[in-house]
Amino acid sequence: MIVLGISETHCATAAILRDGAVVGCASEERFTRLKNDAGYPRLAIDALLREVGLRADQVDCVALAGRHAYAREWMNRVLHDAAYARQYYGVRLAEPRGGLARRARKLGARLGLSEPAGGKFTLSESERLGLVTGHLGLGAGRVMTLDHHACHAAAAYFGSPFAGAPALVLTNDNSGDGLCATASSGRGTALQRHEATPSAPGSLGSFYSFVTLLLGMKFGEHEYKVMGLAPYAPAGAVERATAALADVFGLVEDTPARFAWRRRGARYRLLLEAALGARFDAVAGAAQQIVEDTLVRWARLMRSRYGGEQLALGGGVFMNVKANMLLAGEEWVRDLFVFPSCGDESNAVGAAYLGYVALCERAGLAAKPAPFGPAYLGPSIDDAEVEALVRGRDLAARHRVSEPERMEERIADLLVADGVVARCAGRMEFGARALGNRSILANPSDHRVVGIINRMIKNRDFWMPFAPSVLREREADYLVNPKGLASPYMMLAFPTNPKRRDEITAAVHPQDGTARAHIVDEAWNPGYHRVIREFERRTGIGAVLNTSFNLHGEPLVGSPADAVDTFERSGLPHLALGRFLISKR
């Protein structure tokens, strides 16, 4: 039984389930090279069908996440046209009075964000289905559309390792199908929704995104920068800014609970007035404090109403690893699962799970959705393709090209000697977090690599921390994880062990000592595990610094050509590409 799940919003994504197990998942941005590319993910679908050896006519069901779809051109304009985005999100000091500005308010209100901007923005049902049927050659009867937050909940619960055991399932994002949050109970193959929170009064995601915009960064993309900046602010300044922002936005404990703007007016202006006189970093710290406190308070409230000791989380707000760390520390949480890269891209997987369960019900079969498992679900690196690329571009004329007999050992040697190596091997990982197969690696004990990577490769903001990949057998040496929570997807932050912190100092947040850790299990990625193990043999350190293999503002590399392009446009000294090692002279 083959199900194709599709999410068409920002970071459009496709996922393939075979008999309930996810066998392929990739986002369109990796193929178009446009960050967070939106719309129907044609290229991703084609690549996944090739990777798993399927024809389009073998797909039994196409499951679309969301009751409505928006035009790709409009979604990408909001994401990438700065002037248009400022107009759309109401970045102004005075209230708009009419004309285009009034229409902009109306569209934003429909999406639960602010207040439409000009141009076609909604696809009709026939246009939406036509993209699927025209591309795949399938009848419309094989296509279903599903509620946005039902997809988030399905990804979180069916993707968890809870194996059908009872769990509290929470979703929280900016907005989707008019909602920003839901609380459900999961058991077996059933998800019972208890509460659904409308996004029109406000959402926790939109609050954090508007603060991101206020701080001069990109709404819907740079929220992680606010989280990284937050710990730098002085406590007193954060306390004052938190009080000011909490006067504008907060949780209302009704049934359903609501996340609401406490004052009327344009949201950007409300925050601007509240933050007047506060330091840049204090505003970031206050926004983070409000998100953390509100999420914990809301989760406690949902647990008091509906029970649950196992907690499954989905939706873009849970990309906030610091808030997830606090939720994991709640006494009542016995086990926690946060779906990897749980923004709208994850809804392709949730839609596929729901489509599979529906097909089984129609056929009178017992559905057995399999947990998500390893995230290495994209196209593979083909050594023949790499060899053709090396020869076709005559890379040996510009760089040193070799084929080490033991690549993992050679990478470890380079990490000890030079500090920075890009690794592009195996199947591409799904999601926003690099998990070793499309990663830039460095010696985590050498704090100098932070500056090298920031200046020569990533062009990152100076305050952004890096993250470690830690051998599972060494996690207790570096991470404080009393509940033994799994972290294979970098969706949790952990306090670090001060006695061994110097060994991973370059991969720890310098202000609060936390680490967004990737715990590496040998069974899930033997090649990457060998790299870290060989580094450990040379240094005694059972971890490496791991950051995504891309330039700032670009998607992670996907193909061998992407890897070479990024290598040549950056200051990277070494690229391990399949069986080839390419080093700058």
List, for residues 247-303, the tens digit of each pLDDT value.
Answer: 999 999 999 999 999 999 999 999 999 999 999 999 999 999 999 999 999 999 999
| Contact in structure between 464 and 230 (CB atoms under 8 Å) | no
Q: Is the pLDDT of residue 548 over 50?
A: yes
Question: How many CB atoms within 10 Å of residue 108?
Answer: 21
Q: What is the mean pLDDT of residues 513-527?
A: 98
Phi, psi of 10 (to 5 degrees): -60, 145
Domain with CATH 3.90.870.20 in the chain: 378-584
160-338 folds as Nucleotidyltransferase; domain 5 (3.30.420)
At residue 110, the 3 state secondary structure works out as: helix
**110 vs 458: which has the higher pLDDT:** 458
Q: In the prediction, which pLDDT does 117 show?
A: 45
Task: Give pLDDT tens digits for 237-263.
Answer: 999 999 999 999 999 999 999 999 999
The per-residue DSSP string of 35-66 comes to TT--S--HHHHHHHHHHHT--GGG--EEEEES
Average pLDDT over residues 12-29: 98
Q: Which of 260, 248, 255 is nearest to 214 (CA)?
A: 248
Report the CATH superfamily, name and number, of domain 2-69+123-154+346-373. ATPase, nucleotide binding domain (3.30.420.40)
- The predicted model gives 571-585 an average pLDDT of 97
What's the confidence (pLDDT) of residue 460? Answer: 85
Report pLDDT for 93: 64
Residues of the chain with CATH 3.30.420.40: 2-69+123-154+346-373, 160-338
Give the torsion through C-alpha atoms of 542, 544, 545, 550, to 10 deg: -150
pLDDT at 40 over 60: yes
pLDDT of residue 469: 98
Mean of pLDDT over the chain? 94
Residue 547: HSE in the Cβ half-sphere, 13 Å Cα cutoff: 24
pLDDT tens for residues 381-399?
Answer: 999 999 999 999 999 999 9
Output the pLDDT for position 577.
98
CA gap 442, 414 in Å, rounded = 9
Q: What is the CATH number of domain 378-584?
A: 3.90.870.20
pLDDT tens digits for 203-244?
999 999 999 999 999 999 999 999 999 999 999 999 999 999
Q: Does the pLDDT at position 104 exceed 80?
A: no
Rounded to 5 degrees, φ, ψ at 80 are -120, -10
The arithmetic mean of pLDDT across residues 127-139, rounded, is 97
Higher pLDDT, 120 or 509: 509
Cβ count near 264 (within 10 Å): 6
Give per-residue pLDDT as tens, 345-357: 999 999 999 999 9
Check if the beta carbon of residue 379 is closer than 8 Å to that of residue 25: no
- How far apart, in whole angstroms, are the C-alpha atoms of residue 45 and residue 13? 8
Residues 6 or more apart whose Cβ sits within 8 Å of residue 67: 145, 146, 147, 148, 177
| Model confidence pLDDT, tens digit, residues 147-196 | 999 999 999 999 999 999 999 999 999 999 999 999 999 999 999 999 99
- Report CA-CA distances (Å) from 394 to 196, 403, 582: 57, 15, 12
Contact 50, 43 (CB under 8 A): no
516-544: average pLDDT: 98
Question: What is residue 97's predicted lDDT score, i.e. its pLDDT?
Answer: 52
DSSP state of 430: P
Sorting pLDDT into bands at 50, 70 and 90, what band is 338?
A: very high
- The whole-number pLDDT of residue 456 equals 83
More confident residue, 358 or 120: 358
Looking at residue 545, its pLDDT comes to 98
Per-residue pLDDT at 107:
53
Which pLDDT belongs to residue 418?
81
3-state DSSP helix/strand/coil percent for the chain, to nearest 5? 40, 20, 35
**Averaged pLDDT, 194-203:** 97
Instruction: Judge whether 552 and 458 are in contact, CB under 8 Å.
Output: yes
